[in-house]
Structure 1
Amino acid sequence: MTTLWISYQQAQSLVDKYITEPFTRIHLRESEVIMRWLAKHFWEDEEQWWIIGFLHDLDWDITKTDQQNHCVLVQTLLRDAGGTDFLIDTIASHWYDNEMIPALQNKKRTSRIEYSLAAAETLTWLIFATAIIQPEKKLEVVKIESLKSKFKNKWFASRCSRDMILECEKAWVSLDEFLQIGLTSMQNIAWEIGL
């Protein structure tokens, strides 16, 4: 069994230390809950998956104006906190093959958890965008049909990579099921994330 060497309490302390923007905290929480639901779906270790989802953008508030260092700095932060290579590599993988980051440019995702993380954290943006265009601006009114329609509309939330979301299929879950998992998991914390 692979280990992280970082507990959920330690992960929370790291987020408290490095994340200052409320919107980033919301994104981390959204990613965490989708990863947890995926872990349940795949019969994987829920705690590992949700910690990985929760920490995946730990360096974002520091690197958002210097994106060449996003997913590079996080490796140092996690290593200094005692994180394992498995934790560090999995988190860095969500920006693999990114031309903006020379250190990650030629790396490829290869595992179910890597595909799941990349797809899940990207899906949060599509679900959020779908919710805020509703008259009520609430997640509870978003229907799966609407989310599927927005996924197909490349002009809607155009910076949200559909190809990245489709990596769910490399993790052996259909797009329809993945969209439902993401929507349901975020609806379950709607009150917490202000939607």
Structure 2
Amino acid sequence: MNRQEAWELLNEYVKSPNLIRHCLAVEAAVRGYARLYGEDEELWGLAGLLHDFDYEIHPTLDQHPSMGKPILEARGVPQEVIYAIQSHSDFTGVPRVHLLDKVLYASDEISGFIVAVALVKPSRSIHEVDVKSVKKKLKDKAFARNVNRDDIYRGAEELGVDLDTHIANVIEFLKPISDELTPKEQNVSR
């Protein structure tokens, strides 16, 4: 499966623009880590792009992402990508053993959180986000309350990266696609 086929699969199952943007953010973060670690950026990018492809059709913890696995297998998604997707949720019981698994898990919640921080900046741009502003918002439990802070901390820990470094890495990985992730016309309550 190539990136275009993965993009078509994502758009076949995901209709929410916000969820598509989230998948793009996670893809960018995972690709960034692939470059950093000298891994296959195209292969790893598939895991980031497709990690939540089934969320709208399987929105409960007992279904997502495990019930999406047969669809991925039927579409020819590489097994290591399917495994990483299955391990990105603690509820599947699939352990994170490979570097890709750990990167996907570590990139998921933090990518969404960084985008949320950008959306409350005057420019609505990731270019205005820094580690200090992300850490300040992490302490504010009312901000982006659906983001699991424990997953963010555990993700960095499992990856073996200091939290500040992880946040800085993901910010940098998201900057090239900032305009795709933070549309200017959307209203966000601060």
Cα offset, 1:67, TM superposition: 4.1
Shift of 1:50: 0.8
Per-residue deviation, residues 26-79 of structure 1 (Å, max 9, x unmatched): 011000000011111111111111111001111012123x44211022201101
**Map of 1:29-178 to 2, 5 A cutoff?**
29-64=24-59, 66-96=60-90, 98=91, 104=92, 106-166=93-153, 167-178=155-166
Which amino acid is 2:72 matched to?
A: L
SS of corresponding position for 2:143 = coil
Deviation, structure 1 residue 10 = 1.7
Quote how far apart the aligned CAs of 1:15 are.
1.4
2:107 alignment partner AA: A
- 2 CA distance for matches of 1:36 and 1:82? 20
Match of 1:191 among 171, 179, 186: 179
- The TM-score with structure 1 as length reference comes to 0.84
2:15 & 2:156 partners in 1: Cα distance?
30
SS in 2 for 1:60: coil
Tell me, yes or no, if structure 1 residue 182 matches structure 2 residue 176. no
Q: CA RMSD in A?
A: 1.9
Q: C-alpha separation between the residues in 2 aligned to 1:155 and 1:108?
A: 30
Tell me the TM-score normalized by structure 2: 0.86
* Structure 1 unaligned residues grouped into runs of 5+: 1-5, 99-103
CA shift for structure 1 position 154: 4.2
Aligned length in residues:
182
Q: For 1:159 and 1:119, how far apart are their aligned partners in 2? A: 16
